[in-house]
Amino acid sequence: MDGKSRDDSVEIIRHYEGCVTHWCSEPDGGQADAINKGFALATGDILAFINSDDWYQPGAFAAVAGFFTANSGLDWLIAGVDNCDEQGNVCDHYIPFETSFLDCLGRQNYGFHQPGMFWSRDMIERVGPFDTRLSHAFDHEFWCRALFAGVRPLCVSVPVAFFRRHESSKTGSDPWQFRVESWQVYDCFRDRLSRADRRKVKSDLRRWQVVGFARTVYTALRSRGRMRALRILAHYVYLIPRIRPRKMFWGALLRILTTGRPPAWFNQ
Q: What angle do CA 171, 177, 182 make, to 5 degrees?
A: 105
pLDDT digits (tens, 9 = 90+) for 248-266: 556 666 666 666 665 555 5
- Distance of alpha carbon 246 from alpha carbon 236, whole angstroms: 15
Q: What is the pLDDT of residues 88-131, one digit of tens each?
A: 899 999 999 999 999 999 999 889 999 999 999 999 999 999 99
pLDDT at 148: 97
Sign of CA dihedral 116, 80, 267, 253: positive
> What span, in angstroms and rounded, lies between the C-alpha atoms of 219 and 163?
20
Q: Structural domains in the chain? A: 1-31 (no CATH), 44-164 (3.90.550.10), 172-267 (no CATH)
Q: What digits encode the pLDDT tens for the residues 146-185?
A: 999 999 999 999 999 999 987 766 765 567 788 889 999 9
Does the structure show a pLDDT above 60 at 246? no
| Selected residue with higher pLDDT from 71 and 239 | 71
At residue 268 the predicted structure's pLDDT band, cuts being 50, 70 and 90, is very low
Q: Mean pLDDT, the chain, as a whole number?
A: 87
Q: Are strands 117-120 and 76-84 parallel, antiparallel or unpaired?
A: antiparallel
Question: Which residue in 119, 110, 166 sits closest to 140, CA to CA?
Answer: 110
Which pLDDT belongs to residue 169?
66
60 pLDDT band (50/70/90 cuts)? very high
The CA distance from 42 to 44, in Å, is 6
pLDDT for res 219: 72
